[in-house]
Amino acid sequence: MKKFVMLIAVLALMLTACAVEPVAEPAETPEVPDEAPAEPAVEEPAVEEPAVEEPDAEEELPEEVEEAEEEAEIVNGQLFQVKEGDTVSYGGKTIEIVDLTNYGSLMEVNVDGVRFKLLGTRSPEIVNDLEIEIVENTFNENNMVKISVDRFEAAKDEYMISKSQYVTVSDTLVQLDEVKEDKTVIAAYVTIGERQNRIKLGETLAQSGLEVTLQRAFWKFREYAVLKVVPQ
């Protein structure tokens, strides 16, 4: 019996001695996918932005020039915007707008005591050595009209003569008998010496040693004319 127990013990020792510890297998290395070769970096050329010069704070900027409002063209004289009852002055004379009727187309003025009427635009009249004209009618908008006023001065050899008045040049009488408009023709009847003549506006008549030209004619309210009389 003891021999059998010893035999089993010996066998157990032999089995223990012969036992081989398992060897751990090396861990599998994960496969790394092939990477594409990196492309070399290309440096982009730097772009320089143009420098913007800021205006100097002390530098004065040019001032803006305001455009003048355009007004009706008038070579000489002065323009006035007037309504009934207004008074304006020009050349030392006082002009009173006495009446403004017929939608602004008929105006009565008083120039230092001399009263006169004007009818329509672009129809000037000479009143007490002033030439007055309605140049723009805005009566429907503001009950006003625009007038031009200028000093009237006869040129050399010119005479402003009213109906039935006369001048004497080189001992010859020149008398204005009538001024009127025949259809579209403006004419004056002028007696030169002892003979009456019909002279159209802008026309020159030679008679009795004189040359007489009808420079301007007025007939709407009062008949008068500007005649140029030159000895031949």
The predicted structure's pLDDT at residue 89: 96
Interatomic CA distance for residues 218 and 204, integer angstroms:
18
Residues 6+ apart with CB under 8 A from 56: none
Q: What is the DSSP letter of 105?
A: T
Q: Are 81 and 75 in contact (CB under 8 A)?
A: no
CB of 210 closer than 8 Å to CB of 174: yes
Structure-block tokens of residue 230: 């030159």
* DSSP states along 70-81: P----SSSEEEE
Closest CA to 136 of 190, 189, 59, 72: 72
CA nearest neighbour of 94 among 75, 71, 110: 110
Q: Are 149 and 130 in contact (CB under 8 A)?
A: yes
Q: What is the pTM of this model?
A: 0.65
pLDDT at 141 over 50: yes
**According to the model, what pLDDT value does residue 56 have?**
53
The total number of residues written for the chain in this structure: 232
Does 127 have pLDDT greater than 90? yes
CB-hemisphere CA count at 13 Å for 25? 3
pLDDT value of position 135 = 95
Per-residue pLDDT, 183: 83
pLDDT of residue 51 exceeding 90, the answer is no
Question: pLDDT higher for 40 or 191?
Answer: 191
Q: Encoding tokens for residue 20?
A: 């081989």
User: Has residue 151 got a pLDDT over 70?
Assistant: yes
**Quick one: pLDDT at residue 11?**
60
On the question of pLDDT at 31 being above 90, the answer is no
